[in-house]
Amino acid sequence: MKGLFLVVILSLLFINNAPAAVDINTASQTELESLQGIGPAKAKAIIEYREKNGSFASIDDLAKVSGIGSGTIKQLHDAITVESGKIAQTPAAPVKQD
């Protein structure tokens, strides 16, 4: 009986430990490097693209980063996300009216 109880408890612990998707708009270099197929150079390229061009609107926009193709995106599709509520964009300057 104790063995069955232990198996049930351990099963419940592993069910809730699914890794969270990495938001490509806010992820650090270390977080990006944790993704399969993304090393230091690609992680840096993602961050540089994001800083120069703004946030990614969709996962497929990752193809705009040099060195990342459709195969990589397909491989990463379930591990990454673009959270619209967390997209970091530079606010527009207020328009001065005379």
Q: Residue 36 falls within a domain, yes or no?
A: yes
The string of pLDDT tens digits covering residues 3-58 is 766 566 655 555 555 568 999 999 999 999 999 999 999 999 999 999 999 999 99
Contact status, residue 62 vs residue 47, Cβ threshold 8 Å: no
Q: Residue 59 falls within a domain, yes or no?
A: yes
Contacts of 36 (CB under 8 A, 6+ apart): 75, 76, 79
Q: Residue 46 falls within a domain, yes or no?
A: yes
The H-or-E segment that residue 80 falls in is strand 80-81
What's the pTM? 0.67
Question: Can you give the CATH number for the domain in which 77 is found?
Answer: 1.10.150.320
What letter would DSSP give residue 35? S
- Structural domains in the chain (count): 1
Q: Residue 91 falls within a domain, yes or no?
A: no
Domain around 62: 23-84
First to last CA, the chain: 80
Q: Residue 37 falls within a domain, yes or no?
A: yes
The string of pLDDT tens digits covering residues 66-87 is 999 999 999 999 999 998 644 3
Q: Residue 72 falls within a domain, yes or no?
A: yes
Q: Residue 40 falls within a domain, yes or no?
A: yes
Q: Residue 74 falls within a domain, yes or no?
A: yes
